[in-house]
Amino acid sequence: MRNLLLFLFFTFCTNLLFSQNLSINGDTVVYGDPNFQMANHLVVKNNATFPMNVLCRKTNLSLPDTITQTNFCWAGSCYGASTIVSPNSAPLAAGQSISYPDDTDAHTGYYDAFGVIGIARVEYCFYNEQNPSDMTCVIVRYDGSGTSAAENTIIKNNISNFYPNPSSSHTYFKYDLDQPATLKIVDVLGSVVKEIFLANPGVKTISTDNLNKGVYFANLIIEDKILEVKKLVVNK
């Protein structure tokens, strides 16, 4: 029994160590109209000291109806709904991360509800082609449950997650606004370290060179009200 417990503990620690070689950030909750296609983007980073070819595996955990479907793009190609594992692998150098829209190999996931109201849950796993046990997974939630007019106003004024995140020199985010807004980035003590004026939908790149290593929070503010908060990690 003791030997069995030691073996299980060793296996657990080994798997935990392997899972740290790849990390995932990006959109894990997506809201949308079920009459239109929804999309998300994941940032994949190789934290290892060696290069690897990375495959992507998709698993539909739950779909609201049999007519709904998912598909994804990875390693420079987009695949049909029936594809579970990407035929192509994306080469990632040691320390390299790939993200949309900067890298053609980057991940994009799609969900087509075809008008069906409900929530879909999809698991995306990324792993080393030469060592499939070196795997990291994330669950993406596509919410096509429908919203009221008041909720649509809130969803309209929003910002995406930061890419890359953690950031060492720069990061960017997408924003969708129907009125001018201010993005205030504060540290864990609440001190404002950056203040950015935003108007009209777009993409904004910000430098993190002058920020100390640590955790920050970006507050989207309209008419003195905080509508959304996003976490930003600076790692140098």
Q: Using one digit for the tens of pLDDT, what is the confidence trace for 143-170?
A: 988 653 344 444 567 888 888 888 989 9
pLDDT at position 72 over 90: yes
Neighbours of 107 (CB within 10 A): 26
Are 156 and 201 spatial neighbours (Cβ–Cβ below 8 Å)?
Answer: no
User: Which stretch of 3-12, 28-37, 108-117, 215-224 has the lowest confidence by average pLDDT?
Assistant: 3-12
List, for residues 212-232, the tens digit of each pLDDT value.
999 999 988 888 887 778 889
pTM of the predicted protein model: 0.57
Q: Which domains does the chain have, with CATH numbers?
A: 2-144 (2.60.40.3880), 149-234 (2.60.40.1930)
Nearest of 59, 57, 60 to residue 74 by alpha carbon: 57
